[in-house]
Amino acid sequence: MEITLGFSSCPNDTYTFDALIHKKIDTKGIDFKVVVADVQELNRRAFVGDLQMTKLSYFAYAQVYKNYQILDAGSALGFANGPLFICKKGNEQNINSSSRILVPGKETTANLLFSMAYPEYTNKQECLFSEIESKIMNDEADAGVIIHENRFTYAERGFAKLRDLGNFWEEKTHTPIPLGAITIRRDVPEDLKLTINQLLRESIEYANAHPQESNSFIHEYAQAIEDDVLKKHIALFVNDFSLSLGEQGMHAIETLYENAYKQGIITSKPEQIFLNL
Protein backbone atom coordinates (compact mmCIF):
# COMPACT_ATOMS: atom_id res chain seq x y z
CA MET A 1 0.00 0.00 0.00
CA GLU A 2 1.29 3.46 -0.89
CA ILE A 3 0.51 6.78 0.80
CA THR A 4 1.50 10.11 -0.72
CA LEU A 5 3.21 12.26 1.91
CA GLY A 6 4.26 15.90 1.84
CA PHE A 7 6.51 17.61 4.37
CA SER A 8 8.91 20.53 4.40
CA SER A 9 12.70 20.58 4.19
CA CYS A 10 12.96 22.13 7.65
CA PRO A 11 15.06 20.18 10.17
CA ASN A 12 12.13 19.39 12.45
CA ASP A 13 10.28 17.69 9.57
CA THR A 14 13.23 15.70 8.23
CA TYR A 15 14.02 14.64 11.79
CA THR A 16 10.41 13.60 12.34
CA PHE A 17 9.96 11.60 9.15
CA ASP A 18 13.41 10.04 8.70
CA ALA A 19 12.65 6.73 10.44
CA LEU A 20 9.22 6.49 8.81
CA ILE A 21 10.19 6.95 5.18
CA HIS A 22 13.49 5.07 5.44
CA LYS A 23 11.78 2.19 7.22
CA LYS A 24 13.92 2.25 10.33
CA ILE A 25 10.68 1.23 12.00
CA ASP A 26 8.15 -1.37 10.86
CA THR A 27 5.75 0.54 8.62
CA LYS A 28 3.18 -2.28 8.53
CA GLY A 29 3.46 -2.76 4.79
CA ILE A 30 2.89 0.94 4.00
CA ASP A 31 5.21 2.70 1.54
CA PHE A 32 5.37 6.48 1.58
CA LYS A 33 5.76 8.38 -1.69
CA VAL A 34 7.39 11.62 -0.54
CA VAL A 35 7.12 15.21 -1.73
CA VAL A 36 9.48 17.64 0.04
CA ALA A 37 8.48 21.28 -0.44
CA ASP A 38 8.24 24.65 1.28
CA VAL A 39 5.31 24.67 3.68
CA GLN A 40 3.53 27.38 1.70
CA GLU A 41 3.65 25.18 -1.41
CA LEU A 42 2.21 22.33 0.67
CA ASN A 43 -0.48 24.69 1.94
CA ARG A 44 -1.52 25.49 -1.59
CA ARG A 45 -1.44 21.88 -2.73
CA ALA A 46 -3.89 21.05 0.05
CA PHE A 47 -6.53 23.12 -1.75
CA VAL A 48 -6.22 20.60 -4.59
CA GLY A 49 -5.96 17.69 -2.16
CA ASP A 50 -3.54 15.59 -4.21
CA LEU A 51 -1.51 14.46 -1.16
CA GLN A 52 -3.11 11.95 1.19
CA MET A 53 -0.94 13.02 4.11
CA THR A 54 0.72 16.42 4.40
CA LYS A 55 2.29 19.05 6.60
CA LEU A 56 0.13 22.18 6.78
CA SER A 57 0.22 25.51 8.54
CA TYR A 58 -2.64 25.69 11.01
CA PHE A 59 -3.97 28.75 9.18
CA ALA A 60 -4.09 26.83 5.90
CA TYR A 61 -5.77 23.92 7.63
CA ALA A 62 -8.69 26.13 8.65
CA GLN A 63 -9.45 26.54 4.96
CA VAL A 64 -9.22 22.85 3.96
CA TYR A 65 -10.50 21.12 7.10
CA LYS A 66 -13.45 19.58 5.29
CA ASN A 67 -10.99 17.42 3.35
CA TYR A 68 -8.31 16.75 5.99
CA GLN A 69 -8.01 15.77 9.66
CA ILE A 70 -5.20 16.60 12.08
CA LEU A 71 -3.11 13.65 13.21
CA ASP A 72 -2.46 13.46 16.94
CA ALA A 73 1.27 13.00 16.28
CA GLY A 74 3.65 15.23 14.35
CA SER A 75 2.39 18.74 15.10
CA ALA A 76 4.65 21.71 15.80
CA LEU A 77 3.22 23.43 18.86
CA GLY A 78 4.99 24.92 21.82
CA PHE A 79 5.99 27.86 23.90
CA ALA A 80 8.54 30.54 22.96
CA ASN A 81 8.88 29.26 19.41
CA GLY A 82 6.64 31.59 17.42
CA PRO A 83 7.44 33.81 14.42
CA LEU A 84 9.27 37.11 14.88
CA PHE A 85 8.46 40.51 13.37
CA ILE A 86 11.78 42.14 12.40
CA CYS A 87 13.34 45.08 10.56
CA LYS A 88 16.84 46.44 10.03
CA LYS A 89 18.53 47.66 13.19
CA GLY A 90 18.04 51.38 13.56
CA ASN A 91 14.80 51.42 11.58
CA GLU A 92 12.48 50.36 14.40
CA GLN A 93 10.83 53.78 14.84
CA ASN A 94 10.00 54.06 11.14
CA ILE A 95 7.80 50.97 10.90
CA ASN A 96 4.09 51.75 10.73
CA SER A 97 0.86 50.60 9.12
CA SER A 98 1.96 51.79 5.68
CA SER A 99 5.29 49.94 5.79
CA ARG A 100 5.99 47.17 3.30
CA ILE A 101 5.79 43.90 5.22
CA LEU A 102 6.95 40.49 3.99
CA VAL A 103 5.19 37.34 5.22
CA PRO A 104 6.27 33.74 4.49
CA GLY A 105 3.04 32.86 2.71
CA LYS A 106 -0.56 34.02 2.88
CA GLU A 107 -1.78 30.76 4.44
CA THR A 108 0.97 30.43 7.04
CA THR A 109 0.30 30.60 10.77
CA ALA A 110 2.95 33.32 10.86
CA ASN A 111 0.72 35.50 8.70
CA LEU A 112 -2.32 34.62 10.84
CA LEU A 113 -0.57 35.66 14.07
CA PHE A 114 0.74 38.83 12.43
CA SER A 115 -2.78 39.66 11.22
CA MET A 116 -4.12 39.19 14.74
CA ALA A 117 -1.44 41.37 16.29
CA TYR A 118 -1.38 44.06 13.57
CA PRO A 119 -4.76 44.11 11.80
CA GLU A 120 -4.05 47.61 10.49
CA TYR A 121 -0.85 46.50 8.69
CA THR A 122 -2.30 45.52 5.33
CA ASN A 123 0.60 46.34 2.98
CA LYS A 124 1.83 42.75 2.96
CA GLN A 125 3.62 40.72 0.32
CA GLU A 126 4.31 37.00 0.23
CA CYS A 127 7.90 35.83 0.10
CA LEU A 128 9.80 32.56 0.49
CA PHE A 129 10.83 32.49 4.17
CA SER A 130 14.52 32.10 3.33
CA GLU A 131 14.53 35.32 1.25
CA ILE A 132 12.81 37.67 3.70
CA GLU A 133 15.95 38.94 5.43
CA SER A 134 17.85 39.63 2.20
CA LYS A 135 14.93 41.56 0.74
CA ILE A 136 14.69 43.74 3.86
CA MET A 137 18.44 44.33 3.83
CA ASN A 138 18.23 45.34 0.14
CA ASP A 139 15.37 47.77 0.91
CA GLU A 140 12.87 45.79 -1.14
CA ALA A 141 10.72 45.76 1.99
CA ASP A 142 10.68 47.58 5.33
CA ALA A 143 10.06 44.68 7.70
CA GLY A 144 9.06 41.04 7.72
CA VAL A 145 7.89 38.02 9.67
CA ILE A 146 10.54 35.34 10.02
CA ILE A 147 10.13 31.68 10.96
CA HIS A 148 12.17 28.51 11.38
CA GLU A 149 15.92 28.71 12.06
CA ASN A 150 16.12 32.43 11.23
CA ARG A 151 14.91 33.19 14.76
CA PHE A 152 18.31 32.05 16.05
CA THR A 153 20.45 34.17 13.72
CA TYR A 154 18.56 37.37 12.78
CA ALA A 155 20.32 39.62 15.35
CA GLU A 156 23.82 38.78 14.19
CA ARG A 157 22.75 39.53 10.63
CA GLY A 158 21.83 43.10 11.46
CA PHE A 159 18.13 42.91 12.27
CA ALA A 160 16.08 44.06 15.24
CA LYS A 161 13.04 42.35 16.72
CA LEU A 162 9.93 44.50 16.64
CA ARG A 163 7.77 41.87 18.31
CA ASP A 164 7.79 38.22 19.20
CA LEU A 165 4.46 37.04 17.80
CA GLY A 166 4.66 33.90 19.87
CA ASN A 167 4.82 35.97 23.04
CA PHE A 168 1.85 37.98 21.76
CA TRP A 169 -0.14 34.76 21.39
CA GLU A 170 0.89 33.31 24.75
CA GLU A 171 0.07 36.53 26.62
CA LYS A 172 -3.31 36.71 24.85
CA THR A 173 -4.41 33.10 25.36
CA HIS A 174 -2.04 31.38 27.83
CA THR A 175 -1.83 28.44 25.41
CA PRO A 176 1.00 26.99 23.30
CA ILE A 177 1.41 28.30 19.76
CA PRO A 178 -0.08 26.05 17.04
CA LEU A 179 2.30 26.40 14.10
CA GLY A 180 2.16 23.36 11.84
CA ALA A 181 0.08 20.18 11.68
CA ILE A 182 0.48 16.82 10.04
CA THR A 183 -2.83 16.09 8.39
CA ILE A 184 -4.44 13.17 6.59
CA ARG A 185 -7.19 13.18 4.01
CA ARG A 186 -10.62 12.31 5.36
CA ASP A 187 -11.19 9.68 2.65
CA VAL A 188 -8.38 7.51 4.03
CA PRO A 189 -9.93 4.55 5.91
CA GLU A 190 -10.19 5.12 9.67
CA ASP A 191 -8.10 2.10 10.65
CA LEU A 192 -5.36 3.22 8.29
CA LYS A 193 -5.41 6.74 9.74
CA LEU A 194 -4.86 5.31 13.21
CA THR A 195 -2.05 3.06 12.01
CA ILE A 196 -0.29 5.96 10.29
CA ASN A 197 -0.69 8.14 13.35
CA GLN A 198 0.97 5.45 15.48
CA LEU A 199 3.76 5.01 12.94
CA LEU A 200 4.42 8.75 12.95
CA ARG A 201 4.69 8.72 16.73
CA GLU A 202 7.07 5.75 16.55
CA SER A 203 9.17 7.61 13.97
CA ILE A 204 9.62 10.54 16.34
CA GLU A 205 10.36 8.21 19.26
CA TYR A 206 12.99 6.46 17.15
CA ALA A 207 14.59 9.79 16.23
CA ASN A 208 14.64 10.84 19.87
CA ALA A 209 16.29 7.55 20.86
CA HIS A 210 18.80 7.61 17.97
CA PRO A 211 19.42 11.34 17.30
CA GLN A 212 22.54 10.80 15.19
CA GLU A 213 20.84 8.49 12.69
CA SER A 214 18.77 11.25 11.10
CA ASN A 215 21.74 13.60 10.59
CA SER A 216 22.45 12.70 6.96
CA PHE A 217 18.83 13.14 5.93
CA ILE A 218 18.54 16.44 7.81
CA HIS A 219 21.76 17.78 6.23
CA GLU A 220 20.57 16.75 2.78
CA TYR A 221 18.06 19.62 2.97
CA ALA A 222 19.77 21.93 5.47
CA GLN A 223 23.34 22.12 4.23
CA ALA A 224 23.69 25.84 4.94
CA ILE A 225 22.56 25.60 8.56
CA GLU A 226 25.19 25.20 11.28
CA ASP A 227 24.96 22.17 13.55
CA ASP A 228 24.24 24.12 16.72
CA VAL A 229 21.37 25.95 15.00
CA LEU A 230 20.01 22.63 13.71
CA LYS A 231 19.99 21.19 17.22
CA LYS A 232 18.25 24.27 18.64
CA HIS A 233 15.69 24.19 15.84
CA ILE A 234 14.81 20.54 16.40
CA ALA A 235 14.72 20.88 20.19
CA LEU A 236 12.35 23.84 19.89
CA PHE A 237 9.88 22.44 17.39
CA VAL A 238 9.90 18.69 18.16
CA ASN A 239 8.59 18.26 21.69
CA ASP A 240 5.93 16.48 23.75
CA PHE A 241 3.16 18.02 21.61
CA SER A 242 4.76 16.33 18.59
CA LEU A 243 4.22 12.93 20.20
CA SER A 244 0.63 13.73 21.14
CA LEU A 245 -1.42 16.90 21.12
CA GLY A 246 -3.15 16.03 24.37
CA GLU A 247 -5.94 18.15 25.77
CA GLN A 248 -3.70 21.21 26.04
CA GLY A 249 -2.63 21.03 22.40
CA MET A 250 -6.16 20.49 21.10
CA HIS A 251 -7.42 23.37 23.23
CA ALA A 252 -4.70 25.64 21.80
CA ILE A 253 -5.74 24.79 18.24
CA GLU A 254 -9.41 25.40 18.95
CA THR A 255 -8.48 28.68 20.66
CA LEU A 256 -6.54 29.77 17.57
CA TYR A 257 -9.57 29.24 15.36
CA GLU A 258 -11.93 30.86 17.86
CA ASN A 259 -9.81 34.02 17.91
CA ALA A 260 -9.33 34.06 14.14
CA TYR A 261 -13.09 33.71 13.68
CA LYS A 262 -13.87 36.51 16.12
CA GLN A 263 -11.48 38.82 14.27
CA GLY A 264 -13.02 37.92 10.92
CA ILE A 265 -9.80 36.36 9.59
CA ILE A 266 -11.53 33.04 8.91
CA THR A 267 -15.17 32.75 7.92
CA SER A 268 -16.02 29.57 9.83
CA LYS A 269 -14.60 27.55 12.71
CA PRO A 270 -13.24 24.13 11.71
CA GLU A 271 -15.22 21.20 13.11
CA GLN A 272 -14.46 17.52 13.78
CA ILE A 273 -10.79 18.15 13.11
CA PHE A 274 -9.12 15.56 15.34
CA LEU A 275 -8.84 11.79 14.93
CA ASN A 276 -11.09 9.58 17.04
CA LEU A 277 -8.33 7.83 18.97
Decide if 219 is catalytic.
no
Active-site residue, selected from the candidate residues 22, 148, 210, 219: 148
SS (H, E, C) the chain: CEEEEEECCCHHHHHHHHHHHCCCCCCCCCEEEEEECCHHHHHHHHHHCCCCEEEEEHHHHHHHCCCEEECCCCCEEECCCCCEEEEECCCHHHCCCCCCEEECCCCCHHHHHHHHHCCCCCCEEECCHHHHHHHHHCCCCCEEEECHHHHHCCHHHCEEEEEEHHHHHHHHHCCCEEEEEEEEECCCCHHHHHHHHHHHHHHHHHHHHCCCCCHHHHHHHCCCCCHHHHHHHHHHHCCHHHHCCHHHHHHHHHHHHHHHHHCCCCCCCCCCCECCC
Catalytic residues: 148
